[in-house]
Amino acid sequence: MFNRRKMLQGMAAGAGAAFSPSLLPGRLLASPTSHVTPKRIVFFMQNQGFDPKTCIPDGMTSSGSLASAKLPEPIRALEPYKERLHIINGLHGMHTSPSHSAFFGALGGYRGGDGVPPSAATIDYELSKVLPQTLLPHLCIGMDSMENMTAKPTIATLSASGAGQPIFMHSNPNHLYQMLYGGISKGDIRLQHEARSNVLNQIEKLAAANGRSLPTADQQRYGQYVQGFKDVNGLRDRLGTVADHLRTFAPPVDERYSNPQFETDWHDVLLDLGISALSSGITNTLTIGSGRGEIFGAWKGLGVEQQGHNLGHMTQADNPIWIKIRQYNSRMLVRIMEKLESVPEGSGTMMDHTLIVYTSNNADKQHTNGANWPVMLLGNFDGTFKTGCFTQLDGKRPINALYTTLLRAAGQRCDRFNMNEQLAGKFDDGVGPLKEVLA
């Protein structure tokens, strides 16, 4: 039976986690005259692991240039962008206990698990606070099978704003389009947006009034739901203040939204919405969960009939199925780069000030201990990272060290990310950023 109460709680919790702390009036689009470089970052997390053989060129066993190397077939689409690519092998995440997935631990650098709440904020959220502020500091989108995206249009497994504070991913592009561009749309989309807005406004008022009668112990939790609705309504109002600007970036709506033939139709338009949010300046941090941080996922639109957990039991290297999935990912990465490259910014383009982090929420494979966690970086984040190279690490630095490096690159002083001295003594042989990847 449909449970309206749970639906509204999910909407509020998801909204509050995605937009809190509350958006301040000043968190608008970066001013064109600002001297602050509007950097941005994208995390692309593919489930079921990232086998290093699908990204490391044949014969490369030690660090070196990619200039004369030929990229493996799964990432061949990145060949024209090789000078912007940095492949990193040898990080570990053994302390995250990934197995089927590290869930929140993949971006948090701590122990995760199915149904286990986050124990701290994840790196994507922390970066969204450090980077120059935007209307929507952090946007998460999740791609899955059609059945899962329809049944659970929002789900939280990868990102968090703090301990016990998950951030929900958007998986229904119709809902996300309404949230971002409903106010500048026409026809049915505008009508649906207005109807939804009226409902949320009424819920906020009723929730605020009813919460006062709750026992003191419940008022704080209830207040989080109320704040969630306030944040959603506030975001809608703020987007309205830049409506003319947004019209330039809103992607066209076609049958893929309302009548998708395959789940990849929704994957494609979700990516379009994520790219538009970056290129318009709505957000500076985008997290993409392909498989939504779990063990599911489907790619029937690529001709892959198998789906879900079984995909993780297949060897990825030289596997036609995983070649198709990884090639699809690579084409998505290219689409992000091409769009950001087309938008002027400062003395260059948006891509000059952007970093894309591609990895998995499950280290190198399903049923892994996390001993090797391959990562690809695209872009140099305004000249901060080396590019056009492969770096082989010794496996004694955790993914937390990479996240420390990202925070340093964004301007925040940080020696360890989500790792105390006791844990570091067991799992990290160094301190501070990864000097091997910095320019």
What one-character DSSP code corresponds to residue 53?
G
**pLDDT top residue among 268 and 208:** 268
Assigned domain for 136 exists? yes
User: Tens of pLDDT along 133-168?
Assistant: 888 889 999 999 999 999 999 999 999 999 998 999
Cβ atoms 406, 374 nearer than 8 A = no
**3-class DSSP assignment, residue 413:** coil
Q: Please give the average per-residue pLDDT across 247-276, as a whole number.
A: 95
Within a domain: residue 153?
Answer: yes
Q: What percent of the chain has pLDDT over 70?
A: 80
Q: What are the pLDDT digits (tens) for 330-383?
A: 999 999 999 999 999 989 999 999 999 999 999 999 999 999 999 999 999 999
Residue 178's pLDDT band (cuts 50, 70, 90): confident
Give the pLDDT score at 403: 98
Q: How far is CA 249 from CA 187, 280, 340, in A?
A: 19, 6, 12
Domain-located, residue 257: yes
Range of the domain at 303: 38-176+252-437
Look at residue 4 and tell me if it is in a domain: no
CB distance 431 to 416 below 8 Å: yes
The answer to the question of residue 420 being in a domain is yes
Instruction: Examine the pLDDT at 310 and tell me if it is beyond 80.
Output: yes
Q: Report residue 31's pLDDT band, with 50, 70 and 90 as the boundaries.
A: very low
Backbone angles phi, psi at 127, to 5 degrees: -65, -35
- Report phi then psi at 22, rounded to 5: -50, 140
Per-residue CA distances from 41 to 140, 290, 354, 377, 416 (Å): 12, 17, 6, 10, 20
The SS3 of residue 371 is coil
Residue 404 maps to a domain: yes
DSSP-derived 3-state class of residue 60: coil
At 342, which CATH number?
A: 3.40.720
Residues 383, 127: contact at Cβ < 8 Å?
no
Average pLDDT (68-95) is: 98
| Whole-number pLDDT of residue 9 | 38
**What is the reported pLDDT for 112?**
94
- Predicted confidence (pLDDT) per residue in 199-210, tens digit: 445 545 555 555
In sequence order, which residues have a C-beta less than 8 Å from that of residue 432 and are 6 or more positions away? 401, 404, 408, 415
Asked if the model's pLDDT at residue 50 lies above 80, the reply is yes
Contacts for 348 with CB less than 8 Å, ≥ 6 apart: none
Residue 224: its pLDDT value, please?
A: 53
Residue type, 113: G
Residue 227 placed within a domain: no
Q: What share of the chain has pLDDT > 90, as a percent?
A: 69
Q: Which residues contact 275 (CB under 8 A, 6 or more apart)?
A: 335, 336, 339, 340
Confidence of residue 33 (pLDDT cuts 50, 70, 90): very low
The domain tally of the chain equals 1
pLDDT at 156: 94
Helices 123-130 and 399-409 sit at what angle, rounded to 10 degrees? 10
Asked whether residue 194 is assigned to any structural domain, the reply reads: no
